[in-house]
Amino acid sequence: MSTDETIIEHKAFARIGLLGNPSDVYYGHTISFSLANFWASVRLQPSPDLVIKPHPVHDLVSFSSIGHLIKRLESEGYYGGVRLLMAICKVFYKYCSNNNIELKKGNFTLSYDTNIPRQTGLSGSSAIVCAALNCLLDFYKVRHLIKVEIRPDLILAAEKELGIVAGLQDRVAQVYGGLVDMDFSKECLDKLGHGKYTPMDISLLPPLYLVYAENPSDSGKVHSTVRKRWLDGDEFIISSMKEVAKIGVDGREVLLAQNHAELTKLMNRNFDLRRQMFGDEVLGSLNIKMIETARSVGAAAKFTGSGGAVVAFCPDGPEQVKLLEKVCREAGFIVQQALVVPPLLTDEDFKTLST
């Protein structure tokens, strides 16, 4: 966070779902980390009126031609970040009202920027919402009154306002930073009212690599058919999702033991189960090609989220990494080493934790 007089600015980072996703939507267990390669930032400046400022690129409404407009819509979609900022303002205000948290008088102008590639399953939308929530917490000076564990629910609620399909794990990673073990079991949610989130030492992670396409699929459509089948009691989906959740549970011990051979198996199994449940048509040929390209050199590979980007691990070391970079670039994919964000919680945040 930076404060210049009364200006408040926060960053929230992209995230990688390492193990157990997408079981966070199905009372499961995941391990995720915040990715320092990409981030969104939100700036709050006091002003006479409350203003949500459109981004000059992501909320473009002026075009050189109808062709430019169509090209823009096909590559970027219809929505920028303005609706996300509006939605978190609404959710934040209602939460404070419902919990008798008094908000001071005063208005502000919210603006944002982001370099998170669109539709890569790296949680670009929730990063904007998370950064905005942090600005609101500081502007109204209520950080100590809103528990850290509840904040991911507020971020998700803002996205649900807009019909965005997602789970909690991304928002937990973005609120906490670092590497986080997340238990979303029904028992846990019923007892605590939220998941059980346990930060882990980021030094437990081996070198990991991010692979993504410049023109990826829409990550917001991937959960749909599987969720309906799960709700309808489909035994294959229910048992497969339990196995995915167990990968998240087992992953904690594997990381603590730094058992890289087992980590390779878990990452690959995680994707294979997703593929069996969702099917190739839903996952998309480009996403599958990314996985197969990484695996062609013996790397472990799985989605970072719902598609559009892949996290890869090279258990055989630097020479295998060179091969990964070569085959991915030949296939037209971008490869970067995944940089891990250190834990983000402040002393004031820690005081709000339940445990």
d(CA 343, CA 202) in angstroms, rounded, equals 8
First to last CA, the chain: 25
Q: Which helix (H) or strand (E) holds 123?
A: none
Strand intervals (E) in the chain: 2-4, 7-19, 29-47, 51-52, 107-114, 179-183, 196-200, 208-212, 300-303, 309-313, 334-337
Q: Which two tokens stand for residue 162?
A: 């807009």
- The residue written with tokens 């959960």 in the block is 223
For residue 47, how many other CB atoms are within 10 A of its CB? 13
d(CA 43, CA 221) in angstroms, rounded, equals 30
Q: Which of 302, 288, 285, 296 is nearest to 324 (CA)?
A: 296
d(CA 78, CA 59) in angstroms, rounded, equals 9
The active-site residue, picked from 24, 113, 170, 183, is 170
- H-state helical runs in the chain: 66-76, 82-98, 124-139, 151-161, 169-176, 186-192, 224-231, 235-256, 260-278, 280-283, 285-295, 318-330, 347-351
Q: Are 10 and 112 in contact (CB under 8 A)?
A: no
250 catalytic residue (yes or no): no
- The residue written with tokens 């062609």 in the block is 296
d(CA 38, CA 35) in angstroms, rounded, equals 7
Q: Are 84 and 158 in contact (CB under 8 A)?
A: yes
Strand partners, 46: 108
d(CA 1, CA 283) in angstroms, rounded, equals 37
Which positions are catalytic? 170
